[in-house]
Amino acid sequence: MDDAEENKAVGRGSTGPPVTQLSLAPFKLVTEETRATILGTLASYQAENPHDSGIGFNELREAAGIGDSGKFNYHLDKLQPAYVKQTESGYALTNAGVSLVGTLRAGVGAETVRGPETLDAACSICDTELTVRYEDAILSVSCENDHSDPRDYLPPRAVDGRTLQEAVSLQKRRTMHDCEFIREGVCPACFDDVECKYTVLDAPQASHVLVATCEGCGRVSGSPLGMYLLREPPVVAFYHDHGVDVTETPLWTLDLVIAEPTLRSEDPLQLSLSVERDGEQLTLVVDEAHNCSTVSVLGSTDIPGCTPRSPRQSVSNCSQCLRGRGLSLTTR
């Protein structure tokens, strides 16, 4: 590729390829080691000096360990203006440059295998011990009978320097974050549109899943319906009232994740999921757009004088009062 073609590939002198097309320009740029070194050096400098708007030419060249000034200047120029910008103080990464460095640092494509390691937990189906394994950029938790808990993609950097137990906690947050995007119809990988389809699997638990297919990057993911509801305010409140923090508790201990829905209506599709804690039952109704339409909490019937938990909370939306009266709370 000559200079004219390369400049055009990174968008210099043109509007660049439509965002709906795959662009190889960033990866062609960093196949040259000097350019990758410059990007990494700028990233390190910005991390160590967050209040500086840039680093000077000679300081950057020395920090990058590149002795040939002409060679350095040539490759630095190739990174501009898409990934490196020139400021009054010197050079700095653009937002696209930060994103590109993040992709490289995450270790995409690196071959990393960890485990299996035994977890201090038991399978919710057969009560055998659970193990965790990382391979092919997938962190998976399963038992000896191949009952698998929700698994997800994690880049190699996510497990580098961490225990697999810590990686499991990290993966859970990523999975819940991804589910939020999918509920909005957005791919968490490339931000294109996703098509969601309700599917029933031949599985002993968590058989009702929502399969999301991205029209852009081809990413296909499937999670139990309960996974998409874990951040609903009434769900968080219900578990919190019973001493469970849904943000910290492993997925395999949250019964909503594996709850089997009851069909309430086929047209329009409506499903209900129920979980119980300490004699109280939380029931959620999910519509065809996988939204939680109504919530009810049943159980305690003798609640002497409930006091709202905050000045902004009224008795009408207090979960404690609702439980005492067997009422429903509309959330969407």
Domains of the chain: 3-105 (1.10.10.10), 231-330 (no CATH)
Q: Which amino acid is at 226?
A: G
Calculate ∠ Cα 233-236-238, nearest 5°: 105
Distance of CA 204 to the CA centre of its chain: 26
* Cα 253 off chain centre by: 20
What is the amino acid identity at position 51? Answer: H
Closest to 235 in 3D by CA, of 121, 329, 327: 329
Residue 91 C-alpha from the chain's centroid:
32
**In tens digits, what is the pLDDT along the chain, a chain of 332 residues?**
444 444 444 443 444 445 556 666 666 777 778 998 999 999 999 999 988 889 999 999 999 999 888 999 999 999 999 899 998 889 999 999 998 899 888 887 678 888 899 988 888 778 899 999 998 888 888 888 887 776 778 888 888 889 998 998 888 888 888 988 998 899 998 899 999 888 887 776 667 888 899 988 888 988 888 888 888 888 898 899 989 998 888 888 888 888 888 888 888 888 888 888 888 888 888 877 666 666 667 664 433 344 433 333 333 344 444 443 333 333 33
CA neighbours closer than 13 Å in the CB half-sphere of residue 281: 10
pLDDT at 228: 86
* Sign of CA pseudo-dihedral 56, 58, 59, 65: positive
DSSP strand pairing (138-143 vs 129-135):
antiparallel
Task: List 220's β-bridge partners, or say none.
Answer: 213
